[in-house]
Chain A
Amino acid sequence: MFKTILLVLVTCAAFGQKYKVGRAAGAEDLKADIFVAPDGKGLPPGKGTAAAGLEIYNRRCQRCHGTQGQGGEESVLVGGQGSLKTAKPLKTVGSYWPHATTLYDYIRRAMPFDNPGLLDADQTYAVAALILHWNGIIGEKDVLDAATLPKIKMPNRDGFVRDNRPDTGPKAKKK
């Protein structure tokens, strides 16, 4: 009897906040966590290479992004390195994206546009590898997985600055 009461108290205490509204999240709820952090946390098991990615890309990606990632109806994925200072900057995965982990996270959560979640982990690594390869960042046979992907230094990794406004008016910060 005493044990039962104690158990009830402990259960309440485990979720014992001010308003006692809501319930404790369980393992099933936490399956929604598919975030991939820039340090690689959240990357799933699996692996892929650019060579393996080509077949998937041709089937699922090229219709919008072009045969070589040069773009079409949707974003250009390849090229543009060295263009950011020019009058016509080309912002691509290769020229602009600071983290390779973003590529895995975004393909997994949002691509292909009409059917996100279609690709399994190996296929996602493979397509990410292909895009990085086309940008000259990794080799065609380099294996992308949870260990290698976060170690990639993207060409524009140091190209971002934190918010340093105001940049106009009397209080403008000088660079």
Chain B
Amino acid sequence: MKKNPRRRFLQFAPLAALTGCATKPAATEEEQLPSQLGKPLSAYGERSKYETAKRLVPEVKRPQIGATRTPLAEIDGTITPASLHFERHHAGVPDLDPAKHTLLIHGLVERPAVFTIADLKRLPSETRTHFVECAGNSGNEWKSPGAGDVVRGFGLASNTEWTGVPLRILLEEAGLKKEGKWFLAEGADVCKMYRSIPIEKGLGDAMIVYAQNGEALRPEQGYPLRLLVPGYEGNANVKWVRQIKVVDQPGQAKDETSKYTDLLADGTARQFSLVLDAKSVITSPSGGQKLAGQGFHEIRGLAWSGRGRIDRVDVSTDGGKTWTRAALQEPRLPMAFTRFRLPWAWDGQPVEILSRAVDESGYVQPSREELTEARGGNSQYHYNGIKQWKIEADGSVKSV
């Protein structure tokens, strides 16, 4: 089963030779010799004016509710710039002064406590890379394979490096009582959005984070504090977190009853399905793109799982008939984006390409048919079916 992707590529070498090598410089390529002094030093860097990747902002009546999407097909590697991390707000982005913001820990604890940002930064810290994905990501795929491109279909997921204090330390400082089974995490947005989380997660890898990709959290990512619950649906990673209350049962918040529950075909709904299952998408070639011509192309994509590391990604270039193991970029981190790649030579014929992720728990990303067979078409959330792109003879790529 395990094959060396490089060897497989060599089989295609003659085909590749047909195209790439003899290309002449295009007429638009001019020599860019430095002829004058460049811009001066600057205090805070900006990207090149030639770069345009940006979040997809929807046209909505109330811009305080809704989501922007990360242009994953325009990002290389695995880290999402904080400025491009997707947003989902329920009542806008609050303007919080870190000198005044505090975190209250109370409920079933011996010593209800208040921590300032300075307090939290004094405590032992950790830095980890994790994805955050909205439970509604790819939700339009439930009814039909609708996502025309990566940003619309998959852009409610991002992957960044987070720094903060393990929540376990704060719960131990406050003296967690054994009756505490869940905790409620509430944000300081005006709607005071909150979620209930099992206490095991709080004593496990949950963190109160204050930094992202080396700098303070962006306001739209929860500045100055955010709960991070790795692998859990995005909504549970409560932004602007201001209090943690330990309780003996879930609070049954609006966002864990009326929303973010999976309505199944028999009319019942799955609740607290917090962990996101393995998922993958080919980001190149992907919907909306156009291949420059036949010959060599590197198939690239992202895979992730809320249950740990990505173990394997299989790619098919014949509509799912045969699968080839893609190369995975190391290090493969748990609950983080893993970049996969497969060298490929396109023969110019219409073709369908797809990817299938397998995580370290042994879970295999299901096809759309398997998923809808198990849950029906009304689930709305937690869609993780295999995504298929079709490359037409003219090189254009579309969703099928």
Give the interface of A toward B (CB within 8 A).
Answer: 14-15, 17-19, 21-25, 29-30, 32-39, 73, 84-85, 87, 89, 91, 93, 96-99, 101-102, 105-106, 109-110, 113, 116, 159-172
Contacts and interface: CB of A to CB of B under 8 A. Distances in A.
A19 B173 contact: yes
A21 B251 contact: no
B266 interface: yes
A157 B169 CA distance: 36
Contacts of B265: 85
Interface string B275-317: 1010000000000000000000000000000000000000000
Given A73-B61, A159-B269, A21 B192 contact: no
B247 A25 contact: no
Contact of A22 (B113, B268, B362): B113
In the A-B complex, the 10 residue pairs with the smallest Cβ-Cβ separation, listed nearest first, are: A25-B112, A110-B191, A85-B267, A168-B366, A84-B267, A106-B254, A167-B374, A22-B115, A109-B192, A160-B271
B114 A35 contact: no
A113 to B, nearest CB: 7
Contacts of B267: 84-85, 89, 159
Contacts of A34: 192
A29 B112 CA distance: 10
> Does more than half of chain A's interface fall in helix, strand or loop, or is it mixed?
loop
20 contacts: A17-B111, A22-B115, A22-B116, A22-B173, A32-B104, A37-B251, A84-B263, A84-B267, A85-B267, A89-B263, A97-B257, A99-B252, A102-B257, A105-B253, A106-B254, A110-B90, A159-B268, A163-B274, A168-B374, A170-B364
A25 B114 contact: yes
Interface of B: 61-62, 90-91, 102, 104-106, 111-116, 119, 122-123, 169, 172-175, 184, 186, 190-194, 242-243, 245, 247, 249-254, 257-258, 261, 263, 265-275, 277, 362-364, 366, 370-371, 373-375, 377-378
Nearest to B364: A169
B363 A15 contact: no
Nearest to B189: A110
Given A34-B192, A37-B249, A102-B254, A162 B270 contact: yes
A19 to B, nearest CB: 6
A78 to B, nearest CB: 13
A18 B173 contact: yes
A171 B374 CA distance: 13
A171 B243 contact: no
B252 A38 contact: yes
A38 B61 CA distance: 33
Contacts of B247: 35, 37
Contacts of A14: 111
Contacts of B192: 34, 109-110, 116
Nearest to A158: B268
A87 B261 CA distance: 17
Contacts of B375: 167
A160 B261 CA distance: 9
A161 B251 contact: no
A110 B377 CA distance: 30
Contacts of A15: 111, 113
Nearest to A159: B268
Given A23-B113, A37-B251, A110-B192, A161 B173 contact: no
Nearest to A167: B374
A30 B112 contact: yes
Given A35-B247, A113-B62, A165-B273, 8 more contacts: A17-B175, A19-B122, A25-B104, A32-B104, A99-B257, A106-B253, A168-B370, A169-B370
B266 A85 contact: yes
B254 A105 contact: yes
Given A17-B173, A22-B119, A24-B113, A163 B370 contact: no
Contacts of A160: 257, 261, 268-271
A89 B378 contact: yes
